[in-house]
């Protein structure tokens, strides 16, 4: 058992393709650039210059940038990209249900907006 454990640790030691110090700082600068871009849009284009209006298109841009940032954190910082493909699938496949959950709850929210508040109220005698 202990031999087995050491074996994995030793193997892990050599199995770190692509994440030396240079790689780490590269990912950091990508994350920083994406965050800076979000601020440029939010503070510059939307707040100060008023070039872009708040709405669905802007939100889509924000969410896309967020997902790219999330990818870089999970893939490189959390090292998932360099794990066995079976493990990657195992950890990420469940999020299909989260996508479904998003669709369900947003439809539900929209339904409540259009129906719940228009329900008439009757006096309680």
Partner 1 sequence: MSTTTVSQLDKVKDGPWSGGKSPWNLEYGKIMMWFFLVSDAFTFSAFLLYYGAQKFAQPTWIDADKIFQSVPGIVEHGQPLVFVGIMTFILIMSSVTMVLAVDAGHRNQKQEVVKWMLWTILGGICFVGCQAIEWTHLHHEGFWFGRNPATGLEGDAVAQALAPYFTKEISYTAALQFSNLFFTITGFHGFHVSVGILLNIIILCMTLNNTFENRGTYLMVEKVGLYWHFVDLVWVFVFTFFYLI
Could you list the residues that contact partner 1 (CB under 8 A)? 4-6, 8-9, 11-13, 15-16, 19-21, 24-25, 28, 31-32, 35, 38-39, 42-43, 46-47, 59, 62-63, 65-66, 69-70, 73-74, 77-78, 83-84, 86-87, 91, 94-95, 98, 101-102, 105-106, 108-110, 112-113, 116-117
Of 6 and 120, which CB lies nearer to partner 1 in the complex structure? 6
Closest residue by Cα to residue 81 from 15, 14, 28:
15
Question: Residue 42 and residue 77: Cα distance in Å, rounded?
Answer: 26
Cβ at position 125, least distance to partner 1 in Å? 25
Distance, in Å, from the CA atom of 76 to the CA atom of 69, rounded to the nearest integer, reads 11
CA distance 113 to 115: 6
């Amino acid at each position: 058992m202990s031999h087995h454990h050491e074996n994995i640790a030793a193997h892990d030691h050599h199995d770190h393709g692509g994440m030396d110090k240079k790689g780490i700082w590269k990912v950091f600068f990508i994350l920083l650039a994406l965050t800076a871009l979000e601020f440029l849009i939010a503070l510059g284009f939307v707040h100060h210059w008023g070039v872009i209006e708040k709405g669905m298109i802007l939100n889509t841009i924000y969410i896309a940038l967020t997902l790219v940032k999330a990818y870089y954190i999970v893939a490189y910082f959390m090292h998932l990209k360099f794990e066995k493909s079976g493990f990657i699938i195992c950890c990420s496949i469940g999020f299909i249900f989260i996508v479904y959950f998003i669709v369900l709850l947003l439809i539900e929210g929209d339904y409540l907006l259009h129906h719940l508040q228009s329900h008439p109220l009757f006096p309680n005698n």
